[in-house]
Amino acid sequence: MITNPTSQRSLRAHRPKRLSQRVATTGEYIARLAARLTDRDRWLARMLYEHKVLTTHQITEIAYPSSRAANLRLLQLYKWRLLDRFQPFIASGTAPMHYVLDVAGAAVVAREDGLDPRDLDYRHERAIGIAHSLRLAHTVGTNAFFTALIAHSRNMDASGQLTAWWSEARCKRHFGDIVRPDGYGRWHEHHSAFEWFLEFDFGTERPDRVAAKLPGYAKLATTTGITTPILLWMPTTRRETRVRHALTTALSTLDDPTLVPVATSSADFVSNDRDAHPATARWQPLDGRQLTSRRLTLAELGRAWPHLPPLPPSSSASVATGSSDSWSDLLPPSPLAPGPTPRRRTRRSDMGNIAGARHGAPTS
């Protein structure tokens, strides 16, 4: 029995009208767009340039008060070609919309830093092509780890906040000749800071292959003189147990195991905290002398290895970086979104009466 039939109007709904790529990259259009973008819109464009792809849910939890507010604004940004979107196929149910940076968004990001859009090494085909990437799920999962921390940081009663988030691509540019972490983060809580490299594990590699990454981190610590802990996030506690055994064996072969502090956690670990975000007491340091140590919070991990010097409670990353070329000189965006821009009344004449308006250009 059909109780909720889909209306015929819904089956024949028109797709949102969008500008052509040629029109969306003209200087005239970008100038008109400047009057319509909020600080949060610009921040979101930079986040997508840095982290490649974010889902509707991830964008909502890091930047908007509700799903409705997020969907309404994302639709407008999609029409203006600040963002593009796709919906991947999944075996059951419906996947959320995935957003990437579009051509107008890349132009805005470049112009804000006084760069030519070509200097960003941005190509729309490559940006939207992540829809077919075999690493899409891994990228979305890695980003979900950090967006959960940002969502917790936005709570009024949050005791800490994420102050730095580097993408896999940025880490690769700086450390790719030695290690290639999936991300870098910095957490500030109670006047102290903790930083880490993230290894996001999907259970697709053998445990010994995961453990084989530790010598690279030891080499990085020796080369830079900075010891940065490694956090490994596993899909299950069973997988975590197997990987921890391999990690213990790998650490025992290092000349100086203290150069590679390691802690692990798993997605299905049940925390006492009602909000199961990565900052809760779910991390287990890898210590051969105490394999059954209690789970720690991110803030407590900063004190789990006494030989590590305390970090200054600032938002800047302390990891050493190598040389970079011009298009990668853009600083990573702040993990926390700027506040909403007050609404203002805009006359239609303020936007000008040019041909772009016929193609969905921003109007009041």
Q: Over the stretch 239-288, which tens digit does the pLDDT of each residue have?
A: 999 999 999 999 999 999 999 999 999 999 876 666 678 999 999 999 75
Sign of dihedral through CA atoms 64, 65, 69, 70?
positive
CA–CA gap between residue 236 and residue 188 (Å, rounded): 27
- Which secondary-structure segment (H or E) carries 198? strand 192-200
Give me the residue label for tokens 């100086």.
Answer: 256
- Give start-end residues of each CATH 1.10.10.10 domain in the chain: 15-133+346-364
Express each pLDDT in 133-170 by its tens digit.
999 999 999 999 999 999 999 998 888 999 999 999 99
Cβ partners under 8 Å of residue 59, min gap 6: 44, 70, 74, 99
Sequence-distant contacts of 340-344: CB under 8 A, at least 24 apart: 340/38, 340/40, 341/38, 341/39, 341/40
Q: Are strands 230-234 and 262-266 parallel, antiparallel or unpaired?
A: parallel
CA–CA gap between residue 162 and residue 211 (Å, rounded): 27
Sign of dihedral through CA atoms 120, 356, 72, 124?
negative
Token pair of 68 as six digits: 């409705």
Q: What is the pLDDT along the chain (364 residues), one digit of tens a residue?
A: 555 665 656 555 567 788 888 999 999 999 999 999 999 999 999 999 999 999 999 999 999 999 999 999 999 999 999 999 999 998 888 999 999 999 999 999 999 999 988 889 899 999 999 999 999 999 999 999 999 999 999 998 888 999 999 999 999 999 989 999 999 999 999 888 999 999 999 999 999 999 999 999 999 999 999 999 999 999 999 999 999 999 999 999 999 999 999 999 999 987 666 667 899 999 999 975 544 468 999 999 988 998 998 887 665 555 655 444 444 568 999 999 998 777 655 544 444 443 344 455 565 4
Protein fold of 15-133+346-364: Arc Repressor Mutant, subunit A (1.10.10)
Stated pTM of the model: 0.88
Our CA angle for 182, 195, 52, nearest 5°, is 35
